[in-house]
Chains A and B, each alone.
Chain A
Amino acid sequence: QVTLRESGPALVKPKQTLALTCTFSGFSLTSFGMCVSWIRQPPGKALEWLAFIDWDGDKYYNSSLRTRLTISRDTSKNQVILTLTNVDPVDTAAYYCARVRHPWNFFDSWGQGTLVTVS
């Protein structure tokens, strides 16, 4: 059974760096085709794709946020970490991590999400 769980601070001050961790089970991020992505959703607004890391460790970012985002992985802990620098109140959102299996490029399993408020 595939599970993902996001963790991190619920409240961050403006200009600080937000660090979120996605802890997953039921698959290995070093197995061919396995990928983890981060997606966020401001309250009452649409989903926004943020970043993606694949089984080779290759990383991909939303072009609008590329300069502020970093995605990394700790394969020994089955974790994917997302950092967002210089946060602003507009970054207030529920942050989700989700699995993608190449070549089927869709988000097939999601975490429950973690709400981050920037204030």
Chain B
Amino acid sequence: QSALTQPPSASGSLGQSVTISCTGTGSDVGDSNSVSWYQQHPGKVPKVIIYEVSKRPSGVPDRFSGSKSGNTASLTVSGLQADDEADYYCCSDVGDTRLFVFGTGTKVTVL
């Protein structure tokens, strides 16, 4: 269970878009329909923003979208707002097990 690989940082201007990648292996991301994404503001509890690769929980704006291709999942934040500045973590289950692995995390800065 090695951590999924995310870029340490990403940035975009207000109103623009930013995309974060999350690379795993054929045993986790590549074999999972349960990739999820979490937003964490400084000092706060993580909050799920995407589950099952591309679904949004109730209350999460449609500016947040998820996708997956092969062993890499992606999170796109469109129409960047100041409040989107946060750390983002991907997570995948491992095959048909109840094991999970998180990504290394990406700090998003809104310019």
Interface size on A, residues (CB 8 A): 25
Expressed in whole angstroms, the Cα–Cα distance for A48 and B38 within the complex equals: 13
Counting CB contacts under 8 A, is B26 at the interface? no
Chain A residues whose C-beta falls within 8 Å of the C-beta of B38 in the assembled complex: 47, 107
In the complex, the answer to whether B102 meets A110 with C-beta atoms within 8 Å is: no
A108 within 8 A of B: yes
Q: In the complex, what's the smallest C-beta–C-beta distance from A37 to chain B, in angstroms? A: 7
Q: How far, in whole Å, are A98 and B46 apart by their CA atoms in the complex?
A: 10
Contact of A108 among B34, B57, B93, B104 (CB under 8 A): B57
Q: A63 contacts which of B1, B93, B103, B104 (Cβ < 8 Å)?
A: B1
| A contact residues around B46 at 8 Å (CB) | 47, 96, 107, 110
Contact (Cβ within 8 A) B98 A54: yes
Given A106-B48, A108-B48, also A60-B99 (CB < 8 A): yes
In chain B between 65 and 93, which residues have their CB closer than 8 angstroms to a CB of chain A? 89, 91, 93
Report the minimal beta-carbon distance from A117 to chain B, rounded to whole angstroms. Answer: 17
Taking A46-B3, A47-B91 as given, write out 15 further A-B residue pairs in contact, using a Cβ cutoff of 8 Å, ordered by the A residue number.
A46-B89, A46-B104, A47-B40, A49-B91, A49-B100, A52-B98, A60-B97, A64-B1, A96-B45, A105-B36, A106-B48, A107-B36, A108-B48, A110-B45, A110-B46
List 16 A-B residue pairs with CB atoms under 8 Å apart, sorted by A's residue number: A45-B105, A46-B104, A47-B38, A48-B102, A52-B100, A62-B99, A64-B1, A105-B36, A105-B100, A106-B34, A106-B36, A106-B52, A107-B36, A107-B91, A110-B45, A112-B45
